[in-house]
Structure 1
Amino acid sequence: MNRVYLGLGTNIEPRKSHLEKALEQLKQNEAITIVKQSNRYETAPVGYTEQADFLNMVVEIKTTLSPELLLDRCQTIEKELGRERTIRFGPRTIDLDILLYNEENIKTERLTVPHPRMHERGFVLIPLAEIAPHIKIGEETIDKLLNKLPKQERDDVKVWQQ
């Protein structure tokens, strides 16, 4: 059984519903078990900033799927929930990213794990630290990576109160 961490994000209303539907679709797959899930966090957009705030969260799953098959499943969920890839880092109904797959380093044409920008993103590191504080990315713990982030990057990530 493989231990995987997925990042989920949405900034097109109804945001809460998009997250819930994505979680439900993950649960419906018999090869995937959700073990833990973080709180939902509201975060300012990164990259392309002329858009609404995001809701982000991280889930830990156990799966028998290979990295490529898991990527296929995540992209199918995105498509079924109306994801359109028009603007890089732009608005989206749902985004599912494979952050970590066991302790493997994977680099293919379609997939890079650990996720290449996760160490720069408070909206990934903060919910990941909530459910898996022991995890290391490369040689560094989540706490160390969080402390390296600019203060604004950490401050822009707040537990969503709904």
Structure 2
Amino acid sequence: MKNIIFCYMFLILAGYSYAQNQKSDHGHENNPYYSTTDTKKLNVSNEEWKKVLPIDLYLVAREQNTEKPFTGKYWKSSTKGKYYCAACGNLLFKSDAKFASSCGWPSFYEPLTKNSVRYRKDNSVGMVRTEVLCGRCDAHLGHIFDDGPAPTYKRFCMNSICLDFEQDITSSGK
């Protein structure tokens, strides 16, 4: 019985450690603006963001670049948990709103709250789209389209690099 309890506790702690490691891919220890609890709106210059963000994240989040389809680590993930802005730590989406869209980027049908994200008209690349920005730091996350599933019929097409993930510790990893 002690061995079973020990194994169970080990798996819980290993899952927690894995979830914490998932959130540390972007070197948050050098980012004074990163917080998963502070929801205060940030007003930080791109010059300052360039000092604290890894260059690959900076180029997508601050310069509106896009990662290549089918290359981001979350586009195909079905692990249960929460998605945060990789630049500032703002809580954006829950995995319960994630769906397989086959577009090559992680897709969600709704943000966690209406203030999690904000929207801006995007006329780049010869088309009119709606850009999705972090509601806290204005990082470019991706775009929203009207071809998602019920109940919203929206597809929030996000760049994996702009997302941090925290696995639910009760999740089995599926």
Q: TM-score, normalised by structure 1?
A: 0.30
Structure having the larger proportion of residues in helix: 1
Name which one, 1 or 2, has greater alpha-carbon Rg: 2
Q: TM-score, normalised by structure 2?
A: 0.29
Structure having the larger proportion of residues in strand: 1
